[in-house]
Amino acid sequence: MSSRPQDKNLILLTERPEAEAQAIRSMGGKASAEKRRQRKAMAELLETYAGLPIRDGRVRNRLTKLGIDPDDLTQKMLVADGIMKAAQGGNTYAIQLFLDLLGEGENKNAKPNNLLDAIRDSTQEDIVDNDLPEVQQTADPNADVVEQAEV
């Protein structure tokens, strides 16, 4: 358990009576299911909204002049236009979002470039230290291991 002051009254589920632990798990499952329902309802609402047409005539004309089919002028297109404008303006978050949406951003599943892992992986075989006197030497527990400078 953690050593934070607010953790002193916490009781692990494994230390609670089985009925009480099951009730807590059940409440968590119900809360999780409710959150999923809310997210799904919000996603459906956003999907409906995204399909609505753009009403602003100036925006419709500007996007049509860019070559976008008038049938594609929906709120979804307006969001894409906003991302493009922000990216063109130098907004790094919008640029990264743009690249991720195109599938050209950094691969989230790629293993990070970790030098320590590379070194550890390259030395998987046993190292023979017979020829390394520095490794073989043992120091007296009471001895000063720092060498004296020659005067």
Q: pLDDT tens digits for 6-53?
A: 777 788 888 889 999 999 999 999 999 999 999 999 999 999 999 999
User: 47: helix, coil or strand?
Assistant: helix
What integer pLDDT is reported at residue 40 of this predicted model?
95
Provide the residue type at 127 as one letter. I
User: Rounded CA gap, 121 and 90, in Å?
Assistant: 40
Summarize the confidence of residues 127-136 as an average pLDDT: 56
Report residue 57 as tokens: 């005539």
Q: Is the pLDDT of residue 70 over 70?
A: yes
* Winning range, highest mean pLDDT, from 8-12, 91-95, 125-129: 91-95
Summarize the confidence of residues 86-99 as an average pLDDT: 91
Q: What is the DSSP letter of 66?
A: T
Q: Is the pLDDT of residue 135 over 60?
A: no
Report residue 103 as tokens: 């599938």
CB atoms within 10 A of CB 87: 17
